[in-house]
Structure 1
């Protein structure tokens, strides 16, 4: 059990449920939010080990949240950020990279693939 804390922000309830179940099974403590503004609020209130942001969300996009986070004085400023997106275009990747996104995962992806990425970013891999 890792007990590491992950903030998951995605406006798709079904996907959020699937990812929460999958990551919780791996021993991560998941906090869910359904839009970018909620994610920002949580990142200002609590410390996390990693954040997973959906690119397209109401209020603020994942890229906007990441950009804000990297420029903020939040204790979470330097944590890894995984961006989930259906946008596979190079310009979207560039935008994400410029905002400080650590890892870019294109939908559809398998939950196992995400667990591998989370594990490697948090140093929980074999």
Structure 2
């Protein structure tokens, strides 16, 4: 059974969601403050975390960022932001802080279940030896044990599909399943410009989501690559067209 943690101060909503999600083989555990959420994550393992933005004291955006930069085993858990706000800015900020998806209140139970299943599928695809990881490399590559490197000036970007890892100058980045999916999509067609719609279809499995969510993911990846020690930008923006991965391929490394 899928284990989901809800952090929301609406106790009545939590009770309703618990009953409804049980019909879809999803077990919901609810806490009502950010502090309780972190304590619960320290104690138990969850597949997905649902974070309400409007939490008391420490809001959902702050909690999302704290989870992602915690350095703890739960730092890469799939996160869905839950918000009653309709502003696009709030949704994009949520993705920038590390969320994998978002859903707006009020929502239909089936919509929430679909979002949960979607982030779980992405997490599965970025597991070692997954089809999505292997697809990021040519069919004649030495296998999923291989890595690929891109060189740009004196910097090296290494993509490791077996472990779903990204390294910069030998330093491993902490990335989410969605971020790895984005890199995998860019590596499939290096130096080619990929539109936001194409990347949305690959990363989200749908092009219905706002295209600016891709911009937020690119923003996160660029920051992580820079923070890991790169002084160049491996992801190129082509205004009005999309993004491409740049660098001189060094071939496959086994």
TM-score for the superposition, normalised by structure 2: 0.46
What secondary structure does 1:105 align onto? strand
CA RMSD, Structure 1 to Structure 2 (Å): 1.3
Instruction: Say if 1:37 and 1:59, in contact at 8 Å, map to a contact too.
Output: no
More strand by share: 2
Q: Distance in 2 between matches of 1:17 and 1:34?
A: 12
Higher Cα Rg: structure 1 or 2? 2
Q: Distance in 2 between matches of 1:26 and 1:46?
A: 21
Unaligned stretches of 5+ in structure 1?
A: none
Residue 19 of structure 2 is aligned to residue 24 of structure 1: no
TM-score for the superposition, normalised by structure 1: 0.88
Unaligned stretches of 5+ in structure 2?
A: 122-254
Structure 1 partner of 2:82 = 84
Residue 70 of structure 2 is aligned to residue 72 of structure 1: yes
1:39-74 superposed Cα distances (whole Å, 9 cap, x missing partner): 111112221111011110113211111100000122
Q: Which has the higher contact order (CA 8 A, sep 6+)?
A: 1
Shift >4 Å, 4+ stretches: none
Structure 1 partner of 2:13 = 15
Structure 2 partner of 1:36 = 34
In the TM superposition, 1:87-126 aligns within 5 A as 87-123=85-121
